[in-house]
Structure 1
Amino acid sequence: MNEIFKSIEKIAIKISNALKYTELGYTDHKNQTGDVQLKLDVLSDKIIEEEFKKIDSIKAIISEEKDDIQDINLDGKYIVAYDPLDGSSLVDVNFAVGSIFGIYEHELKPKNLVASAYAIYGPRLELVICIDKPQLYRFAENKEFKFIKDLKLAEKGKLNSTGASQWGWSQKHREFVKKLFDEKYRLRYSGAMVADLHQILLKGGGIFSYPATTDAPKAKLRVVFEVLPFAYIYEKAGGKTTDGNSNSLFEIEIKEVHQTTPCFFGSSYEIETLKKIYKD
């Protein structure tokens, strides 16, 4: 496992450098979910694949930018699922973006997710690595990642990060968001999942929402390499997760690699409030 994390450190540095200097723009290709691939998406995916191919313990990799599982070493122990560059469409306006990694042991099942990590490329390069608890690392002047602190969510937060098409929200979700604003929550939403979830973690609480909508009843965030890795981090930080009805996002049954789901991550108060409104 340590070898995988060291590889993720190398990946983060390489992608961070690529973001600074690589040409922006689109390719002529679409990924499995129909999004036209940015040149940076493809480059980031290539960087990650090349690093993970060097590790004997990795059995297979799964990328948002690839259609299927790619075998690496059949004798390996881990399957690594990743989003190479979350929020890549925001690079041209210089917003913070990131890479997400979920590490599964032997099989692609929620209960087999044993570690998660993500890199955030902002004014500073940071990594959050989580096995038993999420830990924040920052890239320092000596060209190494320095441990900063453990991350913990409070029982109740102040931030509301709500995504998806507002015109397609259900009445229950509208009611929930109104309640948050009535309780003086601050709106914080950039459109990059990593950046928004990172902010809530570092500020100590709040909620990130990506609900079902009329145009996307199964929402748009991918279970295997976006939703579950962050669910792991948030629950290890003392928070809660749900799809709006479940007690945890880990109740999801994985049926396909690019499966999507509505998802909510946050402090206990916000998640329990959402579940009550959705149930009522």
Structure 2
Amino acid sequence: MQRLIPVLNSDHVPLHLISVINTLLTAAKEISHRLHQGSLAGTLGSTLDENIQGETQKKLDIVSNQLIKNMLLETNLVHAVASEEEDDVVMGNPDAKYLVAFDPLDGSSNIDINGSVGTIFTILEKPDHAAEGKELFLQTGDEQIAAGYILYGPSTMLVMTTGKGVRAYTLDHTVGEFLLTVEKLEIPKTTQEFAINMSNQRFWAEPMKHYIADLLSGSEGPRAKNFNMRWNAAMVSDVHRVLTRSGIFMYPADCKNSDKPCKLRLLYEANPMSFLVEQAGGRSSTGYERIMSLQPTDIHQRVSVIMGSKEEVDECLGYYKKIPCTRFDSP
């Protein structure tokens, strides 16, 4: 099996970019080790603090964030980093050209139940004329040069794209390297699986309510086929399922909290996952717009997310075209 770096070399990925990716993976190996130690590592449980998102931080959220941030900045190849756990961007080498944004531990509520979690990352280049600080990261998803995630499950996997398709690698603990295990991930165009948090159903806009109702009506309904629901409560593992066996993943806007109608962050969750999904032949949308075409206004901006098998996403978007949107869900 091929190691990661020779694969990237064969794709003519610049050496400095390979070094940044390799640094992310070095941090991921340490996070994987601590996760697999569980209670033995003394890092399970929550802190008394909240992050910028207003979410209670897990101990491993903080540890993972510090590991990734510190290791990236120590390379001198990174101009700035942005993280879900940081209020603002953290500046690095003023002469470096790479920007890295990441969710250090997606799905961290699963940690204490020994469920799957992951690290999501995206890499951009420093714009020529942007001011320093947050403005550096206010780029569309189309400007990503690499993106991926590390899934910490029964095995630790890397799924990544540099714009030339999507490959999957598995961490071989005997050699401490990520080895190529899937040369080309492609999402089937059709599916009979969907992933959504059904507990929010009463808060959704009408298009999503009608779409899910038709899925649940099965072979007797307008779709004339039965669907299964899957939900891991971690975007990284739910999207991994879509990438490996088809499906549609949705986290739509809702009216449960009028100040935060959307859950997922554009910069370091929706955009990198959309890059992967599109590179694997799928589709990704807010319901009204292609996610990677959105112009960000803030590094912690939230968006509605619908992504997965192309034909099923198109079916879902059809409901948004024919059913009027409500105030909180308007584009």
TM-score, structure 2 normalization: 0.81
Structure having the larger proportion of residues in strand:
1
Aligned to 2:178: 145
**What SS does structure 2 have at the residue aligned with 1:53?**
helix
Contact (CA 8 Å) 2:239, 2:249: kept in 1 or not? yes
Contact (CA 8 Å) 1:208, 1:264: kept in 2 or not? yes
**What SS does structure 1 have at the residue aligned with 2:145?**
strand
**What SS does structure 2 have at the residue aligned with 1:23?**
coil
> What does residue range 88-237 of structure 1 map to in structure 2 within 5 Å?
88-106=108-126, 107-108=136-137, 109-110=139-140, 111-131=142-162, 132-140=164-172, 141-149=174-182, 150-163=184-197, 165-181=200-216, 182=218, 183-203=225-245, 205-216=246-257, 218-237=261-280
Structure 1: how far apart are the matches of 2:214 and 2:95? 51
Contact (CA 8 Å) 1:231, 1:241: kept in 2 or not? yes
Displacement of 1:23 after TM fit? 2.6
Count of aligned pairs: 278
Displacement of 1:193 after TM fit? 0.5
Contact (CA 8 Å) 2:241, 2:247: kept in 1 or not? no
Displacement of 1:167 after TM fit? 2.2
Structure 2: how far apart are the matches of 1:72 and 1:211? 35
Displacement of 1:55 after TM fit? 2.1
Aligned to 2:306: 264
Aligned to 1:39: 59
Q: Select between 102-111 and 230-239 the one with higher mean Cα deviation.
A: 102-111
Displacement of 1:28 after TM fit? 2.3
Aligned to 2:319: 277
The structure 1 segments of at least 4 consecutive aligned residues displaced by more than 4 Å after TM superposition are: none
Contact (CA 8 Å) 1:163, 1:211: kept in 2 or not? no
Contact (CA 8 Å) 2:106, 2:118: kept in 1 or not? yes
Question: Structure 2 counterpart of 1:157, which letter?
Answer: T
Structure 2: how far apart are the matches of 1:255 and 1:40? 29
Contact (CA 8 Å) 2:151, 2:237: kept in 1 or not? yes
Question: Structure 2 counterpart of 1:143, which letter?
Answer: G
Contact (CA 8 Å) 1:162, 1:209: kept in 2 or not? yes
TM-score, structure 1 normalization: 0.95
Aligned to 2:14: none
Contact (CA 8 Å) 2:121, 2:272: kept in 1 or not? yes
Structure 2: how far apart are the matches of 1:143 and 1:58? 24
Displacement of 1:221 after TM fit? 0.4
Structure 2: how far apart are the matches of 1:142 and 1:55? 23
**What SS does structure 2 have at the residue aligned with 1:270?**
helix
Displacement of 1:178 after TM fit? 2.4
Displacement of 1:24 after TM fit? 1.4
1:57 to 77, 81, 85: 77
2:97 is equivalent to residue 80 of structure 1: no
Q: Select between 178-187 and 228-237 the one with higher mean Cα deviation.
A: 178-187
Aligned to 2:24: 8
Displacement of 1:81 after TM fit? 0.5
Which consecutive residues of structure 1, in runs of 5 or more, have no partner in the other structure? none
Contact (CA 8 Å) 1:61, 1:79: kept in 2 or not? yes
Structure 2: how far apart are the matches of 1:125 and 1:238? 24
Structure 1: how far apart are the matches of 2:152 and 2:311? 30
Question: Structure 2 counterpart of 1:208, which letter?
Answer: F
Larger radius of gyration: 2
**What SS does structure 1 have at the residue aligned with 2:62?**
helix
- RMSD, matched Cα: 1.3
Deviations 1:105-155 (A, max 9, x none): 114201321110100001101111111211100011322111011211111
Displacement of 1:168 after TM fit? 0.8
Question: Structure 2 counterpart of 1:52, which letter?
Answer: L
Structure 2: how far apart are the matches of 1:260 and 1:124? 30
Contact (CA 8 Å) 1:22, 1:40: kept in 2 or not? no
